[in-house]
Chains A and B, each alone.
Chain A
Amino acid sequence: MSDTLLDIRNLGIGLGGDPAHEVVKGLTLGIQPGETMCLVGESGSGKSLTALSVMGLLPKALAPTRGQILLKGEDMLTASSKRMRGLRATAMSMIFQEPMTALSPVHRVGDQIAEVLDAHTNLDGKARRKRVLEMMEHVHLPNVESLYYSYPHQLSGGQRQRIMIAMALILRPQLLIADEPTTALDVTTQKQILTLIRELREEQGTAVLFITHDMGVVAEIADDVTVLRLGEVEETRPVDALLRQPKTPYSRKLLQAVPSLIPRPPRKLNDRPIVLQTTDLGMTYESSGWFRKGRSVVAAKEVNLTLRQGQTLGIVGESGSGKSTVARCIVRLIDPTTGSIRISGTEVASISQRALKPHRRKVQIVFQDPFRSLNPRIEVGESIIEGPTNFGVPRRKAMDRARELMELVGLPGSALDRYPHQFSGGQRQRIAIARAIAMDPDLLVADEAVSALDVSVQAQVLELLDDIQKRLGIGLLFITHDLRVAAQICDDVMVMQHGKVVEYGPAATVLGDPKTEYTRALIEAAPGRDWDFGNFRPVSETMAAMKQQQS
Chain B
Amino acid sequence: MLGYIVQRILAAIPVMGFVALFVFLLLRLTPGDPAAIIAGDAATPAQLAAIRERLGLTDPIHVQFINWITDLLRGDFGVSIISGTPVINMIGSRLEPTISLALTTITLSIIIAVPLGVIAAWKQGTIIDRLVMAISVVGFSVPIFVIGYVMIQIFAMQLGWFPVQGFRSITEGLGPFAQRIFLPTISLTLLYIALIARITRTSMLEILNEDYVRTAHAKGLTDTRVLMRHALRNCAVPIVTVIGIGFALIISGVVVTESVFNLPGIGRLTVDAVLARDYPVIQAVILLASLVYVVVNLLIDIAYVFLDPRIRYQ
A106 touching B309, Cβ below 8 Å: yes
A151 touching B310, Cβ below 8 Å: yes
Q: Which residues of B contact A153 (CB under 8 A)?
A: 309-310
Q: Which residues of A contact B130 (CB under 8 A)?
A: none
User: Across the two chains, which residue of chain B brings its CB closest to A290?
Assistant: B7
B219 touching A107, Cβ below 8 Å: no
CB of A421 within 8 Å of the partner chain: no
B214 touching A119, Cβ below 8 Å: no
A102 touching B220, Cβ below 8 Å: no
Scoring A86, A104, A105, A289 by chain B CB atoms within 10 A of each residue's CB, the highest score goes to A104
CB of B211 within 8 Å of the partner chain: yes
CB distance from A251 to the nearest CB of B (A): 30
CB of B206 within 8 Å of the partner chain: no
Given A101-B211, A151-B310, does the pair A291, B220 have CB atoms closer than 8 Å? no
A105 touching B310, Cβ below 8 Å: yes
B219 touching A98, Cβ below 8 Å: no
Q: Which of B203-239 contact A (CB under 8 A)?
A: 210-212, 214-222, 225, 229-230, 233-234, 236
B219 touching A119, Cβ below 8 Å: yes
Given A105-B234, A289-B7, A292-B3, does the pair A88, B219 have CB atoms closer than 8 Å? yes
CB of A38 within 8 Å of the partner chain: no
Partner of A102, one of B6, B215, B309: B215
CB of A416 within 8 Å of the partner chain: no
Partner of B218, one of A86, A94, A289: A94
Q: Give the number of chain B interface residues (Cβ < 8 Å).
A: 27
CB of B53 within 8 Å of the partner chain: no
Bound complex: CA A85 to CA B6 (Å): 46
CB of A408 within 8 Å of the partner chain: no
Q: Which residues of B contact A88 (CB under 8 A)?
A: 217-220
CB distance from B5 to the nearest CB of A (A): 11
A98-120 interface bits toward B, Cβ cutoff 8 Å, 1 = contact, 0 = none: 10011111110000000110011
Q: Which residues of B contact A96 (CB under 8 A)?
A: 211, 214-215
B254-295 interface bits toward A, Cβ cutoff 8 Å, 1 = contact, 0 = none: 000000000000000000000000000000000000000000
A86 touching B220, Cβ below 8 Å: yes
CB distance from A58 to the nearest CB of B (A): 10
Q: Which residues of B contact A292 (CB under 8 A)?
A: 3, 7
CB of A87 within 8 Å of the partner chain: yes
A262-300 interface bits toward B, Cβ cutoff 8 Å, 1 = contact, 0 = none: 000000000000000000000000000111100000000
For chains A and B in complex, what number of residue pairs have CB atoms within 8 angstroms? 83
A89 touching B218, Cβ below 8 Å: yes
CB distance from A119 to the nearest CB of B (A): 5
Q: Which residues of B contact A106 (CB under 8 A)?
A: 233-234, 236, 307-309
CB distance from B223 to the nearest CB of A (A): 8
Given A96-B215, A106-B309, does the pair A116, B220 have CB atoms closer than 8 Å? yes
CB distance from B225 to the nearest CB of A (A): 7
B212 touching A89, Cβ below 8 Å: no
A104 touching B310, Cβ below 8 Å: no
A119 touching B215, Cβ below 8 Å: no
Q: Which residues of A contact B210 (CB under 8 A)?
A: 101
CB of B66 within 8 Å of the partner chain: no
Q: Which residues of A contact B217 (CB under 8 A)?
A: 55, 57, 88
Bound complex: CA A88 to CA B307 (Å): 29
Q: Which of A45-90 contact B (CB under 8 A)?
A: 55, 57, 84-90
Given A103-B212, A103-B215, A291-B7, does the pair A85, B309 have CB atoms closer than 8 Å? no
Bound complex: CA A103 to CA B229 (Å): 13
CB of B42 within 8 Å of the partner chain: no
Bound complex: CA A151 to CA B7 (Å): 24
Given A85-B221, A96-B211, A115-B219, does the pair A291, B233 have CB atoms closer than 8 Å? no
Given A151-B310, A292-B3, does the pair A104, B212 have CB atoms closer than 8 Å? yes
Q: Which residues of B contact A119 (CB under 8 A)?
A: 219-222, 225
Q: Which residues of A contact B225 (CB under 8 A)?
A: 119
Q: Which residues of A contact B215 (CB under 8 A)?
A: 96, 102-104, 164, 167
CB distance from A500 to the nearest CB of B (A): 28
Bound complex: CA A57 to CA B99 (Å): 47
CB of A93 within 8 Å of the partner chain: yes
B222 touching A85, Cβ below 8 Å: yes
A55 touching B218, Cβ below 8 Å: yes
CB distance from A218 to the nearest CB of B (A): 24
Bound complex: CA A151 to CA B310 (Å): 8
A104 touching B234, Cβ below 8 Å: yes
A107 touching B220, Cβ below 8 Å: no
Bound complex: CA A105 to CA B76 (Å): 48
Given A85-B221, A85-B222, A120-B220, does the pair A105, B211 have CB atoms closer than 8 Å? no
Q: Which residues of A contact B229 (CB under 8 A)?
A: 107, 115
B145-175 interface bits toward A, Cβ cutoff 8 Å, 1 = contact, 0 = none: 0000000000000000000000000000000
A105 touching B212, Cβ below 8 Å: yes
CB distance from A450 to the nearest CB of B (A): 24
Given A96-B211, A103-B212, A290-B7, does the pair A89, B230 have CB atoms closer than 8 Å? no
Scoring B221, B230, B233, B307 by chain A CB atoms within 10 A of each residue's CB, the highest score goes to B221
Bound complex: CA A55 to CA B219 (Å): 10
Partner of B3, one of A94, A116, A291: A291
Q: Which residues of B contact A90 (CB under 8 A)?
A: 220
User: Across the two chains, which residue of chain B brings its CB closest to A113?
Assistant: B219
B7 touching A116, Cβ below 8 Å: no
A408-438 interface bits toward B, Cβ cutoff 8 Å, 1 = contact, 0 = none: 0000000000000000000000000000000
A291 touching B10, Cβ below 8 Å: yes
User: Across the two chains, which residue of chain A brings its CB closest to B221?
Assistant: A119
Q: Which residues of A contact B (CB under 8 A)?
A: 55, 57, 84-90, 93-94, 96, 98, 101-107, 115-116, 119-120, 151, 153, 164, 167-168, 289-292
12 new A-B pairs (CB below 8 Å) besides A96-B215, A107-B229, A291-B10?
A85-B221, A88-B220, A89-B218, A93-B218, A101-B210, A104-B230, A105-B212, A105-B308, A119-B222, A290-B7, A290-B11, A292-B3
Enumerate 6 A-B pairs (CB-CB under 8 Å) in ascending A order.
Answer: A84-B220, A88-B217, A89-B218, A105-B309, A107-B230, A168-B218
